Structure 1
Amino acid sequence: MFDTQPGAYSAHQRLVDAARARPQLWRLLVGLALVGVVVTVLNFVLFGLVSTLGSVAWAQSLLAGASPTAMLVLLASFAFVTFGVWVAARSLQGRTLNSICGPWRQATSQFWTVFKALFVIGFVVTILPPYDMGATLTQNLALSTWLLLLPVSLFAVLIQVSAEEVLFRGYMQQTLAARFRSPVIWLGIPSILFAAGHYAPGAAGDNALLVAVWSGLFGLLAADLTARAGTLGPAIALHLFNNMVALLFISLPDSLSGLALYLLPYDMSDTGMLRQWLYVDFAVMLVSWLTARVALRR
């Protein structure tokens, strides 16, 4: 499925070259620890501020993202991850975010090329049956409210997905590629860690492993797109398209549903309905990845 011949990933070398001056693994490990510290401290300050303005209970409810305000704050807080990566890369490798993301104009152009292609695929999937995902959907937000929030909601989701791409397909993938020649390592390790970050047995129950595998495969496909494109633009577009559908259009009712237009009538731990749709999601994800690859070749 993945063509790991050197020529296939030649565009990736420009990103990797920026990390070659200081490719030591200890720098990556210390850098990741530094990202963790920055994110923890800034989130502590944020939730302390929210608690002061509201209440401790309301601040804690932000993690569930059950209201529009909670979701917007939660998604926007992912900017701390991007800031943490900037601090780590700057202090330990002398790198900038631009060197991690790739040339701005090229990244932006590739982002829009892929996103427009995925939008067409999404429209086609939407008009195909079944129209209710096998169950009756529940209206979560009034259409007028949802449309009013949509611009800022999209921007908040963009902050979230960009942060994850900068960390996993940017900082981690490029540093490992500067140290190891084998794509199995620099494609695989960040994807495994990405999957581990999405393993949540407390919320997903018996579906937790399947959700983690889904996330790991998504990470692998996003890593492949980054290596082929030489920028994070296509991976961010793929990630935005996926999370936009899951967070803004049709969401699960048990978590991160505050900005969704509709809610599914089952939660993440449902081993009947949800598991069926996870398999469908696998197929859609593969089609989306292939679509992105075709779009980039034009």
Structure 2
Amino acid sequence: MLKGAVLWFLILGMLTLIFYLINPASYELTFNPSTFGMLLILSLITFPIQASFEEVFFRGYLMQGVGLLSKKPIVPLLATSFLFGIGHIMNGTGMTLSVFPLIETVIIGIALGIITLGEDGIETAIGIHVMNNLYAVLIVSTPDGIFGNLPSIMMTSSSPSGDILTTAAAAVIAVVIIFWNKKDKLRDIFRWEDAEPN
């Protein structure tokens, strides 16, 4: 879990720095020490429980259940990622914006599913999921997100489509790093012949 959390933090931090250097006007320092402490405490209590539950349900039970029916790893991967996205469709402030969180969440769901199938475990996925939520609330939040204006360290006004590109880039980087010397694990996930379920 620590591996996933640290990796995801470094990837998001690197991407945030790159986008800040490209367009510093889209970021605003909003750190408020009098309110940040309470936000930090609540986040550290809430998100590990919430993210762990979602990973156990979607990448644990549900992915294995669909895998028993399909026998092909790609089917539970896509099915659970789409259902994961549907579960987060209201993470925007309006129905138009809700489409973008859906796409973002499906992308993250696919990455977490690939990691879970490739490592045959959900620990790294839990770490990434927890850190993703902590980063979005504590480090860089957006006024259009489900939580609205938060006393996070920074606020960004980047476009929803830009957020999707950031999420996709982070997901690809994470998968490449994790499976850098284990490419055979990735090939097993995307094979089409019948496979034994995990």
TM-score (norm 2): 0.74
CA contact (8 A) 2:107 2:167 kept: no
1:245 aligns with 2:101: no
The corresponding residue for 2:28 is 137
Q: 1:262 aligns with which of 154, 157, 164?
A: 154
The residue identity in structure 2 corresponding to 1:260 is: S
The residue identity in structure 2 corresponding to 1:221 is: A
1-side partners of 2:129 and 2:72: how far apart?
25
The corresponding residue for 1:279 is 165
The corresponding residue for 2:3 is 113
CA contact (8 A) 2:139 2:154 kept: yes
CA contact (8 A) 2:27 2:154 kept: no
Rg comparison, structure with higher value: 1
**Residue 20 of structure 2: SS of its match in structure 1?**
coil
2-side partners of 1:154 and 1:296: how far apart?
32
List alignment gaps of at least 5 residues for structure 2. 184-198
Q: Calculate percent identity across the aligned residue pairs.
A: 23
List structure 1 segments (4+ residues) > 6 angstroms apart after TM superposition: none
The corresponding residue for 2:195 is none
2-side partners of 1:251 and 1:216: how far apart?
20
Q: Deviations over 1:111-146 (max 9, x none)?
A: 12232333333443344352566424252x513542
The residue identity in structure 2 corresponding to 1:193 is: L
**Residue 117 of structure 1: SS of its match in structure 2?**
helix
1-side partners of 2:43 and 2:69: how far apart?
38
RMSD value, Cα = 3.0
Aligned length: 180
Indicate how the Cα distance of structure 1 residues 245 and 295 shifts in structure 2: closer, same or farther if over 3 A, else same: farther
CA contact (8 A) 1:238 1:288 kept: no
The corresponding residue for 1:175 is 65
The residue identity in structure 1 corresponding to 2:6 is: K
CA contact (8 A) 1:138 1:265 kept: no
2-side partners of 1:277 and 1:189: how far apart?
23
Indicate how the Cα distance of structure 1 residues 261 and 228 shifts in structure 2: closer, same or farther if over 3 A, else same: same
